[in-house]
Chain A
Amino acid sequence: MNNKRYVARSTAIAARVLGDETMVMSATNSTLFTLDEVATVIWESADGATPLEEIVANKICTQYDITPEVALKDAEGLVEQLAEHGLMLLSDKPIAQSAAATGGTK
């Protein structure tokens, strides 16, 4: 089973890093969300080319005192929530920037 999951920020959003948090607003319904410090790391690393597991291993587990299993479970919960609101795209294949711009395939 291929567990690789690719994540990309949607372009139909407004976003800005504010200190150690990130403000993200859905352009479709103007709902505002904030991401905490750890979620911001995942958000900024969601380039569509790096698998989520790799982001968690290289950017989270090296910086925070947490096991890879727990961190990955948390990260998957986060990206699924973001995807539900149209803020992030998820795929089992790498996501091109043009796909993120048009909504892509989830």
Chain B
Amino acid sequence: MSVLVAEMAAKALQMNIPLSVQLDLTYRCNERCIHCYLDHHDHGEMTTAEIKDLLDQMADAGVFYLTISGGEILMRRDFFEILEYARLRTFCIKLKTNGILIRKKEADRIKALGVESVQISIYSHVPEVHDAITKLPGSLAQSIEAIRRLRAHGIHVIMANVLMVQNVHDYAGVRALAAELGAQFIMDPTITPMMDGDRSILNLNVDEAALREVFRNESLVGGNIEEFCAPPLSPGEDEMDQLPCSAGHTACYVSPYGDVYPCVQFPLPSGNVRRMKFVDIWRDSPQLNEVRSIKLRDMPTCSKCTHGGTCTRCPGLAYLEGNMRGPSYQDCEKSYARTGIPSENLKARKASSQPYHSLRLVQIQGLQPAAQALPFSVTESSVVNA
């Protein structure tokens, strides 16, 4: 982050201005990604007029960075009408799309409307792997074609690679593809629960060994690995009052139905723009004010953890794990993979865990007639189907 951007963010925080908003236009999508945290039905999306009114409200409230996402944004027939209106209200516009519906005409229009960046998810450079994740045959080829069209216009394209079990070995290939296409490469190593709290997709997360490999890859980390993976110092007094992230402080998320949340990854309903003004929700929502009150010093375990000052703890993930002030074990595990030092939460979880029974020694000999005793001994590590 540049000094100027940091200064503006600090000023926005001081003035309680929502500098950055992600607005999802729709949850409908032409892909069916296996790790997606959304359902894809239309439960009553905001109309074009409602979205334009919201854009007016957000501009008046001071929103500068506007990320337009979904679902697939081009599934909305009024997408370019909305984009044009957002341009008139002078937002810094970032788009997130899979690019499937971006053909020449759409690329020309996006260029003309001066968006800051277009982010497209590419899961693998191998078509079979990417298409198996999106469940849309031919999707990799179509997304790459969209990237080429956008790059031909000089548009800043970000190629986002979400790491999961299915594509764990492919990030180097995606990175090389990004370089070839002139796109920026970013990686997200975390699969998050669905917005409705369903955690079944978490089994797509890569294991600790794969995470460790990522954190020790100098070309991905882009700095000093020794320093990045070094055991952290315990948090100091200043860090005790640090904010966990921008969610609810200078940023928030608005769903296609007008629901306001602290962040797309923090599904705490905080108001609805169909019933209240955006700025009133931003300023007065008890939920957002609760999020704003979270400080490291108030978290009983994290405040005593050596990772406290450097952890990427996400309050939204903690909320999805049951308590926005409690642990986000996914972040604890990332800190562990990075440094090799377990967090206080991981230690507490291990200490309080119940004995693991599935491998227990089961006395089966007594069930057998003495003359037919098993010809081998059962050890504690044997799996016994009693």
Binding site for B on A (CB under 8 A): 11-19, 21, 23, 25, 27-28, 30, 32-34
Majority SS at the chain A contact face: strand
- Whether A18 touches B62, Cβ cut-off 8 Å, given contacts A25-B92, A25-B116, is yes
B81-122 interface with A by 8 A CB criterion: 87-88, 90-93, 114-117
Inter-chain contact A23/B8, CB cutoff 8 Å: yes
Contact of A32 among B4, B93, B156 (CB under 8 A): B4
B8-27 interface with A by 8 A CB criterion: 8, 11-12, 15, 17
Cross-chain pairs A/B with CB under 8 angstroms, 21 sampled? A11-B88, A11-B90, A14-B90, A14-B91, A16-B59, A16-B62, A16-B63, A16-B90, A17-B62, A18-B8, A18-B11, A18-B12, A18-B15, A18-B64, A19-B11, A21-B11, A25-B116, A30-B156, A32-B2, A32-B5, A34-B7
Chain A contacts of B17 at CB under 8 A?
18
Most A CB contacts (10 A, CB to CB) among B62, B87, B91, B114 go to B114
Please report the number of residue pairs spanning A and B whose Cβ atoms sit closer than 8 angstroms: 51
B contact residues, range: 20 to 34
Contact of B93 among A14, A15, A17 (CB under 8 A): A14
B65 to A, closest residue via Cβ: A14
Chain A contacts of B2 at CB under 8 A?
32
Chain B contacts of A14 at CB under 8 A?
64, 90-93, 116
- Whether A12 touches B114, Cβ cut-off 8 Å, given contacts A19-B15, A23-B64, A25-B92, is yes
A9 to B, closest residue via Cβ: B90
Closest chain A CB from B117 CB (angstroms) = 8
A25 to B, closest residue via Cβ: B92
Known: A34-B4, A34-B8. 10 other contacts (CB 8 A): A11-B88, A11-B90, A15-B90, A16-B91, A19-B11, A19-B15, A23-B8, A25-B116, A27-B116, A30-B156
